[in-house]
Amino acid sequence: MNTYRINFKGLKEGLHQFSFDVTDDFFSQFEKSEIEKGNLKAEVALTKTSSLLSIEIGIQGSVFLTCDRCLEEFTHDIDFSGELFVKFGREDEIDDNVLQLDPEASELDLAQYFYESIHLSLPIKRVHPDDKNGNSTCDPEMLKKLNQHKVKEDSDDDTIDPRWNELKKLMDN
């Protein structure tokens, strides 16, 4: 994981550009990662000043996810951009976008930040995208089996338990 470290001690003040490849090997370093395969590029623009580091990070590419509906693998595009500030000191006050480093530190490891940023870019519901006509691109055999086991809802209002009707009257008051 040394690949994702920046040695900032030797850098002059000003803007510095870095580029990192995030591939399958990267995700295999994290235990129980939701992503096992991916091909992404992380672009980092680090601005060094005497008191802090300002870092703009852009991550683009694609990862392979398992569809929640049909359990087949599909490709999902990632397009993340974020900003991170690195302060030096031993203060307790830390913000989400502020990283506190010891004043003696010389390296910044961005692997965990990349990992979390990519995972936070994933959708909550992970299903195959629809085609241009709005039809599902999931495995048709699996969709057929799912529809066979689908529970049919009762839409008949007459079958409502009469106790619920009495409770509804309370809402009208």
pLDDT at 1: 60
| Ordered per-residue pLDDT tens for the chain, 173 residues | 678 999 998 889 999 999 999 999 999 999 888 898 999 999 999 999 988 899 999 999 999 999 998 889 999 999 999 999 988 877 666 677 888 888 888 899 999 999 999 999 999 999 988 888 888 888 888 888 888 887 776 555 566 777 887 787 777 76
Which amino acid, one-letter code, is at 27? F
Rounded CA gap, 11 and 172, in Å?
A: 71
**Cβ-based neighbours of 167, under 8 Å, separated by 6 or more:** none
Quote the pLDDT of residue 95.
76
Assigned domain for 47 exists: yes
Q: Give the domain range for residue 128.
A: 2-145
Contact (Cβ atoms closer than 8 angstroms) between residue 35 and residue 65: yes
Within-domain flag for 48: yes
| Confidence (pLDDT) at 93 | 60
**Beta-carbon contacts of residue 53 (< 8 Å; ≥ 6 apart):** 8, 46, 47, 85, 86, 108
Q: How many domains does the chain have?
A: 1
Q: According to DSSP H, which parts of 71-139 are helical?
A: 111-120
